[in-house]
Amino acid sequence: MDENQPSSSTDIINNQEVDSEVTWKHPSHLFQRLLALFLMCLIGFGSYFCFDNPGALQDDFIQDMNLTTSQFVYLYSWYSWPNVIMCFIGGFLIDSVFGIRLGTVIYALLVVLGQIVFAAGAYLNTLWVMLLGRLIFGIGGESLAVAQNNYAVLWFKGKELNMVFGFQLSFARVGSTVNFIVMEPLYRYVKQHINIPNYQSLSIVLLVASLTCVLSMLSALLLAWQDKRAERILHRKLSVSTEVVKITDVKHFPNIFWLVTFIIVCYYTSIFPFIALGKVFFEKKYNFSPDAANFINGVIYIISAICAPALGLVIDKTGRNLFWVFLSILGTLGSHMFLAFSFVNPYFAMLTMGLSYSMLASALWPLIALIIPEHQMGTAYGIAQSVENLGLAVVALLTGIIVDADGYYMVELFFCFLLTVALLLTAILWTWDSMTNGILNMSIKQRIQLESNKIPRPEKQNLLHDNDTLNED
């Protein structure tokens, strides 16, 4: 099992010494690692900005294109359905065919293409073309997230991984937040100043949004060049494991990996479908204006953009990942119950949900790096996101049906049920972990001590620990 910590406390000292000995051009220097982190964050910006375009314009899609709520949620379910398989295949292709650099560029290109087709469908007022665009966009977007996770593990595994996941979430949610703030005013501006049918105004706004995907693709190209340079200078290929990744390896993944995956599914199906339908929920239950409803619906993303890096740093310093996961799910459950059973101003519930969401992302996803060997990391993250997308696709359809049949109150009860299941699964995982080696809920000090007692073995190098060469190109 690859552990998500340095092999000893001496490694930490050596890393600090290396930063002081090499110049800023060397890949192991802090400046280069921060630059790589910035590009990793930009890679996900466009896909997260455009993912919730329908949520920010929910009223306009339904009115301008004469959609029911069930038809509207197709824009989310068709994003998720192909990724039930494609995330797994996408991660496997990164591990065994494309490599991380080419795979990231290909997936970023698919995101751009999908958003353009989505905009074309709106221009033609044709739902099936829009769904095709969302399908292409989803294949690229979710596989791109797998590649992003692989880059994070490759460059940062061993010391700051929880914080890096927090930064990636933060930057991605900046994209989501900006989407909820600017898309409605941009749509109104286009509708007022260009004399075309409303559904074509939607198309123009969606096409403008595609520029953020182009930015992400350019970032993928720059990061590919930087990673290729780092590989050459640090001789990373010399120490890569000779183990071949096979699809059949999935059968040998430990049971705790599947528990983590099911927790991911139960948790995120209570977040993203809620946000997708949240605008109209806040308008109907709390009599908010469209702009105010969009803003509070985006509060989760605003909080995560601000707090995720800091919470990731806290987890990096304390460990105890399962404790933070349990606390996050509990906080989110309390928030949904507050929204379901009271008419009090919902800002407190949304702030709590935003904090809980940020904490969970920084604590839960890095657990996979503690469980799965590094050469299978792309496949593992791909499987986790594939199962997550299966859950999102099913829940998106169910929530649309529930809203049309019984209203938003029953949807909130459904979300509370999902979070209760996630809480029980986390308790089972915590119990299981404490009865075995306890690595998932160890403190950072305990993990370092555990690694220092192991016999050293060759590992795939990452850019925190590559001290074997200090030469510049």
Contact present, 351 and 301 (Cβ < 8 Å): no
Nearest CA-CA partner of 462 in 1, 7, 144, 106: 7
Residue 81, helix vs strand vs coil: coil
Give the relative orientation of helices 127-156 and 83-96 as an angle to the nearest 10 degrees. 40
Considering the segment(s) 246-452 as one domain, its CATH architecture is: Up-down Bundle (1.20)
Nearest CA-CA partner of 380 in 149, 169, 99: 149
Please spell the DSSP secondary structure of 408-428, one letter per residue.
HHHHHHHHHHHHHHHHHHHHH
CA atoms of 67 and 147, how far apart (whole Å):
35
pLDDT reported for residue 16 = 47
Q: Which residues have C-beta within 8 Å of that of residue 388, sequence separation ≥ 6?
A: 87, 261, 264, 265, 268
pLDDT reported for residue 461 = 44
Q: Which residues have C-beta within 8 Å of that of residue 140, sequence separation ≥ 6?
A: 47, 107, 108, 109, 110, 111, 112, 113, 114
Structure tokens at 410: 């029953």
Structure tokens at 105: 């560029």
Any idea which residue has 């900006």 for tokens?
178
Using a 10 angstrom Cβ sphere, with 0-12 exposed, 13-18 middle and 19 or more buried, the burial of residue 293 is: buried
Spell out the per-residue pLDDT of the chain, length 473, in tens: 333 333 344 444 444 444 445 676 776 667 878 888 888 888 888 888 998 898 888 888 888 888 887 888 888 888 877 777 776 777 777 777 778 889 889 999 999 999 999 999 999 988 899 999 999 998 888 788 878 877 887 777 666 666 777 777 777 777 887 888 889 899 989 988 888 888 888 999 999 999 999 999 999 999 889 888 877 777 665 444 445 555 566 777 888 899 999 999 999 999 988 988 888 899 889 988 888 888 898 888 888 878 877 887 888 788 888 999 999 999 999 999 999 998 888 999 999 999 999 899 888 888 888 888 777 776 787 788 788 888 888 898 898 889 888 888 899 999 999 999 999 999 999 999 888 877 888 877 777 777 676 654 444 444 444 444 444 44
Location of each CATH 1.20.1250.20 domain in the chain: 30-234, 246-452
Contact present, 197 and 91 (Cβ < 8 Å): no
Nearest CA-CA partner of 367 in 326, 420, 406, 410: 326
pLDDT reported for residue 226 = 86
CA atoms of 337 and 340, how far apart (whole Å):
5
Residue 195 sits at φ, ψ, to 5 deg, of: -85, 80
**CATH code of the region 30-234:** 1.20.1250.20
Which helix (H) or strand (E) element contains residue 192?
A: helix 161-193
Using a 10 angstrom Cβ sphere, with 0-12 exposed, 13-18 middle and 19 or more buried, the burial of residue 97 is: exposed
Task: Report CA dihedral (9, 12, 13, 18) to the nearest 10 degrees.
Answer: 150
Q: CA 287 → CA 165, 188, 315, 343, 465, distances in Å?
A: 36, 20, 39, 11, 55
Can you give the pTM of this predicted structure?
A: 0.68
End-to-end CA separation in angstroms for the chain: 34
pLDDT reported for residue 22 = 66
pLDDT reported for residue 31 = 80
Contact present, 177 and 298 (Cβ < 8 Å): yes
